[in-house]
Structure formats: structure tokens, C-alpha cells
Amino acid sequence: MHTSFPKIANRIIEWGIIFLIVFTPLAFGTVHPWAYTVMELTICFLIIIWILKLAIINIKKTSRFTNLQASHKSQTRAVRSILHRVEIPDPCSAKHTSPGPGPCSAKHTSPGSIPQSLNSSIPQSSLVNRFGFIKTPLNIPIMLFVGLVLFQLTPLPSGVLKLLSPNTYKLYQTTSLGLCSAKHTSPGRNPKSKLPDLCSAKHTSPGSIPQSLNSSIPQSSIPNWRPISTYPHATKTELYKILAYIGIFFLIINYSPSTRSTQPVTREHPRLTGGHRLQIKKFITRLVIVLIVVGCFESIYGLLEYLSGHQYIFFRKKTLNLDFVTGTYINLHHFAGYMAIIICMSFGYLTYKLSRLSNSYVSLRVRSPICRRQRPSRSDLRSVGDRDSTLRGRSLSPRARMPSGLEAEVVSDPEGFLTRWEPESATGWHEKLSRIINLTGTKAGLLSFLILIMSSALILSGSRMGICSFITAIILMSIMISNKAPTQRGRISIKKVILILLPVCLMTVWIGLNPVITRFSRISEGIETEGGRIRVWNDTCNLVKDFPALGTGLGTYEYAFPKYKTFRTQKLYDHTHNDYLELMSDTGITGFFIVIAGATYYLFMVTKLWFQRRNPFVRGIAIGCLGGIAYIILHSLTDFNLQIPANALHLSIITGIMHKTLTQL
């Protein structure tokens, strides 16, 4: 079992992550309790399997160490027997009783002791770093934020609570929240109190306490120990989700496809061979491909429902956003957020494929069918080399790298007949067009077509901020890619980027942009009307002013906001349509500063590392992940994508993929 379990564990972990990638968007964005419960239990199960895998590997190491120790013991006994035969005095015998420390001191008198000279040969690697974890710049911010949420759930004395959050203390004084649990949570409650029993069957809910009883309750009966969170159950629910996101992030970056190592290789500690790096690359590629396939299914399914007028999400009839593409999501903004993450990842993977095409082959120009049957002579190859003074005297091969004035390209030549080299500047527009057409039979061409479909679905979703954030993210990615790279290997021309994205606009115009244009024309109506985002944000700012330091508790916005609502719209506002304001209202300035400072520092370090890398695969995958993160940062200004478990989970997954790619490849 020790030899087979690590392999089985690797398969379970990889298939478990793939299951999460497939399940979370298809389950209506994982917004229902049953869906995110399955997500949390799956991540917990995967982490347990990973820990068991590490334990099995370390048991194997410990057994090897025990065998080595036993061999050293047998060698020691053999040496002692030889010494007794030749009558050489044993330094550990009773005759040597000279004062002072000697070789027979206490540290050498244990029955199973080993001489220091023999013990020094035992490998120390089996004793240290057995359960080592990859260090990231997010470790400290994550621990601080989780600690803050746990502190919000911790019952505090009334004096401390009044000092840290005065309005929370006043809220407990003026309301009857938690009186039914007073006899269980208050350490100072008098059991002989003659107060009416409010925890009977008639008063099981907080809202069932009569107002007359609530007003007649003396202040001494209010629980002396209460948490900062105004609704601990909601805070616990959100904490479990956050722990799931953190768990999948650390699982991806610490997961090692090898069955021999407990800690994955890093660039700072390159302990393993290139074969292990190849396994990591294949693992990342599989995750990226699954992300793209699921994203394509979402977009195609949404487009079919939109164009056919069926308007169903599987077997559930849609009641909202009937004029827009939503896929398996209920809200169009959340669908746009998910699609943008997948498109940015696909775009980064496409840059890697294009860089491989431009670096693996050389530019060839076909003159006529007769020329295709003639191999280039060495004199022809030398004539091309003579055009650049730096290549004179060197022999060129058909697959050698060409000078800076020549372009690399794929030419179909199954028989191996090559033609004469030509500079890229000598080609005309029709030959450049033929090169683009030649991409249709490649993986890059297929990926470009899939990006076209997914981008069309995103635009037809009608999410105004989603479309603007997506365009901004693509522009930022194009600028970074087109910037002068450390080498020309990872560079992609911005013309190619525009050429890829141009068909997106043409396809959306062909399908029909009338609903999208109409929605953009009503931006002012959505902002200025009663109950619009501006009014909600202003009221949320008033909520933040009353709970500035530690907030009302993670996940309690839905229950704390109605007290501060100043408009009459009868609508449930479970989120503020701004993740930053909601974060500040839930965790206060303290939590907001921890998250923003940690994310800013992490993105700075990751971007700096990206510019230092030269591997096309690393640069392509990492730029796709950075584009998805940049999109979420922008879209969160007007929507709440991070409150949707499927989108938040995918953000954690692409962050883990980005970190693993930059540090372990």
C-alpha cells in the first residue's frame, strides 16, 4: 500500500480539482447552500488525501532511516566483538574510571547508542522539512485576515466590546439578539433570576420576543460576553467558504505530482530533476485545458439558449435577464465575470502557442510547385547567412534561427522538400494572409476560434462593467506582452493581438447588439433611480462610519444594511454591488487594509517576477492569470463577483496556477 497509495492520491487530487472546475459553474454558480457545501466538503477531502499522501511518503522515509540505524548498530556490535577477541581494552569498560568526561559519558551509555562518527553519516534530510510548505507573500495576510474573522466570532467582555466597537455594544443593549442563549453564553448570569423564560418553545426565534418584555428586561440580564459579529452564523458560513478558497490555493501550489518528494521543487530550492518540472507543466496544462473546455461549454450553451429563445437553465426556467446570455448562471454580471477569467486564461495560453510556432520553424517562401521538389543547397543557405555580417562563416541548417530581419513561420512540407529562404520584408499582404489561414489547422487556430465564441458570449451578456473591465484587461495584457521581453522568444506583436480580437466585434455585430446597446444607453437611469448603486453605496458608507474599526462581522451585510437604508424600494440587498465597500462594512478598516495591502504587495512581486522570466510557457500562463485577476479587481468596483463561490474559487485556482508556474517552472 505504501508504494501504490501516493499514485492513487495524485489521481484523486487532480480529478478532485477538475471536478471543482466543472461542478462549480454548472451548479448555478454554486450560490445555493447544497452547492457550496459540496464544494467545501470536496476541498476538505482533497486536503485530507494530500496529508495522507505526505504521511505515507514520510513513513517510507522513516522506515529507510530505521533500517539504516539498525545497520549501524550491527556494525558497532561487530566492531566490539573483534576488539574483545584481540584483547584490546574497551574504552567503555569498567577499568577506565578516570575522572572527567570521557567516551563513556551519559550520551553514549544508552542501549541503542551509535558512535558520533557513524551517526554523522545518517542523512539529515529525512529529519527536517518533512511537511514543509511553499512560502508565498500571501501567507501573512491570509493568517491575519483569518485571525481577524476568528476574533470577530470570539465572545468578549462588555467593557472590551464597548471599547473596540461602541455601536455593536449599543446594538446589543437596544435589541434582544441572543437573549435566548444568555443562560448558555453568559458567565455571570444568575441562575436564581426571576426573569421570564424567553427560551421556551414560544420564543425560539429572535423576532418572536414581545416588545413589552424586551423593554422591561433590565440591563443586567443582557449577556456580558458577546462577539463583535452581529450574526455569528453568517460569519461562520463565510469563514468556511474563505477557508475553502485558501485550501484550494495552497493545495495547488504545494501539490507535487511526484510520489517521492513531500515538497514541490522551487526555483530557489531546485532539488528535483527536470522530469519533475515536466510533470508540473503537464499538471498545469491539464487544468488550463479543463478551464477552457468548461468555459466553451458555458458560452455555447448560453448562446444556444439566447438565440433559440428557450430560456432555460437546464430544467429550470429563467425568470430574470431573458434578453441576455447568462449560461448556467442566474445573474448576467456573474456570468460575465466567470467568462472573463476563462478568456484571459485562454488568451495567455494562446500567446504561448503562438510563440512556439514563431520559434520552432523558419520562414519559407514557395515559388512554384517545381521548387518544392528541390532541397536548398548549402550555397543558398550561405548566401542568406552572408546578408548578416554576424553570421558569416557559420553553416546554417533548415531549422537554424534566422537573423533579425527574417520571420519564422510554418510551411506545410510533409515530404521534407524545402525552398529558398526569403526575408520577411519581401513578402506581400497576400502571403501574410496565407500565413494566418495556415493557422486554422493548428491548436492556436482552434484556440483563437474558441476565444472568439467566449468573447461573443461575454459581450452579449450585457454586463456593462464586465465588458469595460474585459477590454481594459485585454489592453493591459497586450501592453505587457508587446513590451520588449528579455529575449525575443516570448514576444508577441500587438498586431497579432488586434487581429485575434477583431473578429469578436464582427461576430457580435452579426448576432445582434441591440440589447447591449440599449443597456449601455440606460446607464444614467440605473445610477440615478431610487435604489440604484449610488444610493446603496452612500448608505453603506454610513454603515462603515458606525462600525469603522472591526465592522459588523464577515457576511453580515444583508442583516446590518436595512437599518441604514434611506430609500423606500422594497428589495433585499444582500450585497452592496461593490466588493470593497462590503469588505469594509464587514471587517472594518482593519480587514480592508489587510486585504488591500497583501494583494497589492503580492501582485507587485508577481509582476516583477513575470518580467524576469524568459520561458514562453511561464510567461503565457502567468499573463493569462494576471489578466483574470486584473479583471476581477476592476469589475469588483460595481459588482460582487467575489461573493459568488464559483467565481471566487476560480480566482483562487488561477492564482495558485500563476504562483506555481512562476516559482516551480
Query: How many whole angstroms separate alpha carbon 420 and alpha carbon 366?
Result: 8
Report whether pLDDT(347) > 50: yes
| CB 10, CB 57: distance < 8 Å | no
| Closest of 455, 470, 461, 436 to residue 505, by C-alpha | 455
Residue 425 is classified by DSSP as G
Report whether pLDDT(280) > 70: yes
Higher pLDDT, 81 or 181: 81
Residue 653 has a pLDDT of 96
Residue 596 has a pLDDT of 95
Residue 78 has a pLDDT of 59
Report whether pLDDT(349) > 60: yes
**193 — pLDDT class (breaks 50, 70, 90):** very low
Residue 177 has a pLDDT of 47
For residues 407-421, give the mean pLDDT.
40
The residue assigned the cell 461593490 is 578
**What digits encode the pLDDT tens for the residues 524-554?**
666 666 567 888 899 999 999 999 999 999 9
Higher pLDDT, 443 or 118: 443
Residue 147 has a pLDDT of 95
For residues 386-400, give the mean pLDDT.
41
For residues 106-113, give the mean pLDDT.
44
Tell me how far CA of residue 243 lies from CA of 140, 149, 486, in angstroms.
15, 11, 38
3-class secondary structure, 533: helix
For residues 462-468, give the mean pLDDT.
89
**659 — pLDDT class (breaks 50, 70, 90):** very high
Query: How many whole angstroms separate alpha carbon 30 and alpha carbon 22?
Result: 11
Residue ranges of domains in the chain: 234-360+443-664, 371-426
**263 — pLDDT class (breaks 50, 70, 90):** low
For residues 353-362, give the mean pLDDT.
64
- The residues near 103 (Cβ < 8 Å, ≥ 6 apart) are 91, 92
Residue 76 has a pLDDT of 61
Query: How many whole angstroms separate alpha carbon 315 and alpha carbon 292?
Result: 24
**514 — pLDDT class (breaks 50, 70, 90):** low
Report whether pLDDT(464) > 70: yes
Residue 493 has a pLDDT of 52
**What digits encode the pLDDT tens for the residues 143-162?**
999 999 999 999 999 889 99
Higher pLDDT, 404 or 24: 24
| Closest of 647, 39, 23, 25 to residue 344, by C-alpha | 647
| Greatest Cα pair distance in the chain | 109
Q: What is the dihedral of CA 633, 635, 640, 644, to 10 degrees?
A: -80
| CB 288, CB 621: distance < 8 Å | yes
Residue 56 has a pLDDT of 85
Residue 395 has a pLDDT of 41
Query: How many whole angstroms separate alpha carbon 209 and alpha carbon 399?
Result: 83
| Closest of 340, 302, 310, 611 to residue 460, by C-alpha | 302
Query: How many whole angstroms separate alpha carbon 79 and alpha carbon 265?
Result: 41
**What digits encode the pLDDT tens for the residues 566-612?**
887 777 888 888 999 999 999 999 999 999 999 999 999 999 999 98
Give exposure, 302-329, as e/b (b: 16+ Cβ within 10 Å): bbebbeeeeeebeeeeeeebeebbbbbb
Residue 154 has a pLDDT of 93
Report whether pLDDT(199) > 50: no
For residues 112-138, give the mean pLDDT.
52
For residues 23-48, give the mean pLDDT.
94
| Closest of 5, 87, 92 to residue 48, by C-alpha | 5
Residue 251 has a pLDDT of 94
Query: How many whole angstroms separate alpha carbon 84 and alpha carbon 33?
Result: 76
Report whether pLDDT(234) > 70: yes
Q: What are phi and psi of 254, to 5 degrees?
A: -100, -10
**What digits encode the pLDDT tens for the residues 312-343?**
888 888 888 888 889 899 999 999 999 999 99
